[in-house]
């Protein structure tokens, strides 16, 4: 049987989502908890790979087991007790056999948070950036971004992909509150390092260090070397993963846990 997990995590302590040899990952931590609770080796596949230090308000992963699981609130609570405080499982549901956390996903929505004032409670959770940014000009850059589909200029040079095309649904900046400036972007897929590089380049626009004409030239160049520096990981959040109706319906049937 195949199950989807909906979870969230603070990425500060992890070397990204994917299991790797040189550090602790969210994936390996989740697999260890499931293996301990179920008494058999469990391997999970995530909807996408977040970089080291990136957070997720909503992430999905799937795993397979030979027998049905006891999907009760007590079962979910016991898993959350095994996991560290910075990873939380919200629900586990049975899904169709061919449902795939990564390949069945039809959209991903990210946010990037910037605060101007230092906060004892936001350390590691936002980019603390003091200069005042021109949000109108940055939103004008978003309108240019939405006219394009090839984002090779914003992908890491070592990105192992067959193409650099992404279909953007929206991209804009807004003030979440008086102090927090948030970048919103949703697409069918994202390239490795894409959102952070777009943010870093738009910060230059917001400081009048880069013109809108030059921004479009950067997109058309399809060359990572001409774009700005990637913004730090700590301000980036995966906030929503979209799936087709049959998978969404499955999530409406299973129990959920917030504890």
- At 75-109, the pLDDT tens digits run 999 999 999 999 999 999 999 989 999 999 999 99
Would the pLDDT of 156 be above 90?
no
Burial of 258 (0-12, 13-18, 19+ CB in 10 A): exposed
- Does the annotation place 172 within a ligand binding site? no
Neighbour-count burial for 136-160, b at 16+ CB within 10 Å, e otherwise: ebbbebbebbeeeeebbbbbeeeee
pTM of the model: 0.93
Residue 178 vs residue 148, higher pLDDT: 148
* Cα distance between residue 154 and residue 190, in whole Å: 10
Please provide the average confidence, as pLDDT, over all residues in the chain: 92
Question: Of all residues in the chain, what percent carry a pLDDT higher than 90?
Answer: 81
On the question of pLDDT at 259 being above 50, the answer is no
Range 228-241 average pLDDT: 95
Mark whether 51 is an active-site residue. yes
Q: Containing H/E element for 87?
A: strand 87-94
CA–CA separation, 94 and 31 (whole Å): 18
Could you give the domains of the chain?
2-103+244-251 (3.30.70.580), 107-238 (3.30.70.660)
pLDDT at res. 257: 46
């Amino acid at each position: 049987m195949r199950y989807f997990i909906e979870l969230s995590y603070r990425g500060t302590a992890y070397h990204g989502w994917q299991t790797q040899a040189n550090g602790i990952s969210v994936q390996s931590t989740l697999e260890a908890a499931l293996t301990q609770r179920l008494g058999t080796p469990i391997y999970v596949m995530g909807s996408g790979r977040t970089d080291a230090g990136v957070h997720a308000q909503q992430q999905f992963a799937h795993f397979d087991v030979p027998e049905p699981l006891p999907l009760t609130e007590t079962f979910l609570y016991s898993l959350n007790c095994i996991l560290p405080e910075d990873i939380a499982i919200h629900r586990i549901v049975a899904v169709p056999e061919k449902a795939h956390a990564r390949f069945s996903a039809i959209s991903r929505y990210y946010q990037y948070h910037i605060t101007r004032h230092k906060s004892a409670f936001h350390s590691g959770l936002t980019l603390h950036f003091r200069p005042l940014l021109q949000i109108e000009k940055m939103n004008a850059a978003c309108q240019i971004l939405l006219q394009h589909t090839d984002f090779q200029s914003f992908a890491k040079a070592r990105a192992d992909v067959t193409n650099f095309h992404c279909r953007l649904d929206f991209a804009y900046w807004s003030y979440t509150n008086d102090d927090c400036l948030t970048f919103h972007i949703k697409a069918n897929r994202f390239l490795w390092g894409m959102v952070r590089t777009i943010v870093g380049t738009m910060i230059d626009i917001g400081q009048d260090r880069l013109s809108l004409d030059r921004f479009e030239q950067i997109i058309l160049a399809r060359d990572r070397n001409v774009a700005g520096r990637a913004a730090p990981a700590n301000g980036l959040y995966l906030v929503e993963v979209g799936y087709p109706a049959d998978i969404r319906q499955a999530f409406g049937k299973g129990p959920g846990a917030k504890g």
